[in-house]
C-alpha cells in the first residue's frame, strides 16, 4: 500500500497542504461509508509514506521536518474522515500522536511546558519554537476548541506554523476555562511566558481562539493591550448571551432594531485596539449573517476587522470543514498583521 502512496512524498509541504485542501473541497456527502473508509486508508498511507521518507533522510543524516509536517497533514485529513466508531479511528489517532512526537524530536521544535499561574496552578501547554537561533520572531497563543485537546490542535497547526518562522504556545480550552480566576489572567501568564523567550519579539504576539475559545480570545485582547492581532469572535458570543438573558428574564423575544444592533456591534469591535480576524460558519460560534453584519459595521467605523468564512462540504451528518484551507488563511493573516506591526 505504501508503494501506491509513494509518489505523494515527492511534493513539498506547500504542495501537500494544497492537495489536502483541494481534496476536502471536492469531498461530497454522497460518498458511501465504504468510500470514506477507502479515503481514510489512502490518506493514512500517504502519511505513512511521508514518515518513511523522513526516516530515510534521518538515516542519511538530514533532519526532515517537512516530511513529518506533511505526514501530520495527511493523518489529520484521515482523522476528519474516519467515523469515531470505526476501528480505523484509534489507529489514525495513534499515528497522529506519534507524528507529533516525531516532529517535536526534530531540532527540539516542540516541548511540553507548564505555565505558572497566579492561583498556583500549572497550565499544561506545548511550546513550538520559531526554528532558528537568535530570532526576534512573532508568536501566537493558540487555544483549542471546546471538544478538542491541546495535542489535537497542535497536530493540526504544526504544518502551518512550521515554515512561517513564528513561535507558538498551544493550550486547551478546558484547561484555560477551568481556572478559578478570570481566563484573561491565565492567558496573561501565557503572554508573559512568550515575552520572556529570547527568540520572541514581545511586540508581535497574537492570539488565536478556535470554537468557544474565540470568545476567550476577544476578552483577552480587550484586557491585555499587548496583543498585536487577534483571531476571535469580535464580541458576538457575549452579545448573543446577553440578548438571550434579557429574553429569558423578560419572557419576551428581545430584538434590537437594525440601527441599535449595528451600533452595539461596532462599539464592541472598536474596543479592540488590534487587528481582528473573525471566522464565521462551520464549527465557529459566529454565524455567517452575524459575521457579515459585523464586518460591514466595522468597515463603516474604520475598524481593522476581516471576516473569513469557512469552506464547507455537505455530508450526510452535517458539514465537513476544509481545515487545511482555513488554517492557511488564518495564519497567512496572522503572519501579515504581525509583520506589519513590526514594521510600524
What are the tens digits of pLDDT across the range 253-273?
Answer: 555 555 666 666 667 777 888
One domain for residues 76 and 146: no
One domain for residues 145 and 245: yes
Last residue of a domain, one of 105, 129, 154: 105
Last residue of a domain, one of 105, 122, 153: 105
One domain for residues 193 and 329: yes
d(CA 170, CA 122): 14
Q: Average pLDDT in the 44-56 region?
A: 84
d(CA 102, CA 70): 12
Considering its fold, how many domains does the chain have in total? 2
Provide the whole-model pTM.
0.85
Does residue 320 carry a pLDDT above 60? yes
- The domain that holds 326 is classified in CATH as 3.40.50.1820
One domain for residues 82 and 143: no
Structure confidence at residue 209 (pLDDT): 96
One domain for residues 238 and 299: yes
Does residue 64 carry a pLDDT above 70? no
One domain for residues 81 and 121: no
One domain for residues 305 and 244: yes
Structure confidence at residue 205 (pLDDT): 97
Pairing of strands 167-171, 229-232: unpaired
One domain for residues 197 and 53: no
- What is the percent of the chain with per-residue pLDDT over 90, rounded to a whole number? 34
3-state class (DSSP) for residue 50: helix
One domain for residues 125 and 240: yes
Last residue of a domain, one of 105, 140, 156: 105
Phi, psi of 114 (to 5 degrees): -125, 130
One domain for residues 76 and 149: no
One domain for residues 290 and 338: yes
Q: Which long-range contacts (CB under 8 A, 24 or more apart) does 304-307 make?
A: 304/274, 304/275, 304/276, 305/234, 305/269, 305/275, 305/276, 305/277, 305/278, 306/275, 306/276, 306/277, 306/278, 306/333, 307/278, 307/280
* Structural domain boundaries, residue 180: 110-343
d(CA 158, CA 131): 12
One domain for residues 69 and 176: no
- Mean pLDDT, the chain, rounded, equals 81
103 versus 233: the higher-pLDDT residue is 233
Amino acid at each position: 500500500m505504501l508503494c501506491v502512496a509513494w509518489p505523494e512524498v515527492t511534493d513539498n509541504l506547500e504542495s501537500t497542504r494544497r492537495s489536502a485542501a483541494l481534496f476536502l473541497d471536492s469531498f461530497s456527502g454522497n460518498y458511501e461509508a465504504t468510500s470514506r473508509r477507502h479515503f481514510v486508508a489512502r490518506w493514512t498511507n500517504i502519511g505513512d509514506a511521508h514518515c518513511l521518507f523522513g526516516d530515510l533522510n534521518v538515516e542519511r543524516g538530514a533532519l526532515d521536518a517537512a516530511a513529518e509536517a506533511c505526514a501530520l497533514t495527511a493523518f489529520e485529513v484521515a482523522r476528519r474522515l474516519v467515523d469515531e466508531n470505526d476501528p480505523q479511528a484509534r489507529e489514525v489517532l495513534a499515528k497522529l500522536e506519534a507524528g507529533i512526537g516525531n516532529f517535536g524530536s526534530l531540532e527540539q521544535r516542540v516541548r511540553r511546558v507548564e505555565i505558572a499561574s497566579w492561583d498556583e496552578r500549572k497550565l499544561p501547554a506545548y511550546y513550538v519554537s520559531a526554528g532558528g537561533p537568535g530570532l526576534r520572531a512573532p508568536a501566537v497563543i493558540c487555544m483549542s476548541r471546546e471538544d478538542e485537546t491541546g495535542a489535537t490542535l497542535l497536530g493540526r497547526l504544526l504544518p502551518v506554523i512550521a515554515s512561517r518562522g513564528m513561535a507558538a504556545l498551544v493550550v486547551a480550552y478546558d484547561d484555560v476555562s477551568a481556572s478559578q480566576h478570570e481566563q484573561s489572567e491565565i492567558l496573561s501568564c501565557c503572554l508573559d511566558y512568550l515575552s520572556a523567550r529570547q527568540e520572541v519579539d514581545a511586540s508581535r504576539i497574537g492570539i488565536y481562539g478556535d470554537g468557544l475559545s474565540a470568545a476567550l480570545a476577544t476578552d483577552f485582547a480587550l484586557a491585555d493591550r499587548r496583543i498585536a492581532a487577534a483571531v476571535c469572535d469580535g464580541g458576538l458570543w457575549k452579545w448573543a448571551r446577553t440578548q438571550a438573558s434579557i429574553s429569558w428574564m423578560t419572557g419576551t423575544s428581545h430584538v434590537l432594531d437594525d440601527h441599535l444592533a449595528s451600533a452595539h456591534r461596532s462599539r464592541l469591535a472598536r474596543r479592540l485596539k488590534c487587528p481582528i480576524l473573525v471566522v464565521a460558519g462551520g464549527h465557529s460560534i459566529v454565524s455567517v449573517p452575524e459575521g457579515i453584519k459585523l464586518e460591514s459595521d466595522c468597515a463603516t467605523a474604520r475598524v481593522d476587522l476581516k471576516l473569513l468564512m469557512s469552506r464547507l462540504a455537505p455530508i450526510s451528518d452535517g458539514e465537513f470543514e476544509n481545515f487545511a484551507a482555513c488554517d492557511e488563511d488564518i495564519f497567512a493573516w496572522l503572519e501579515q498583521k504581525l509583520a506589519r506591526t513590526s514594521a510600524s
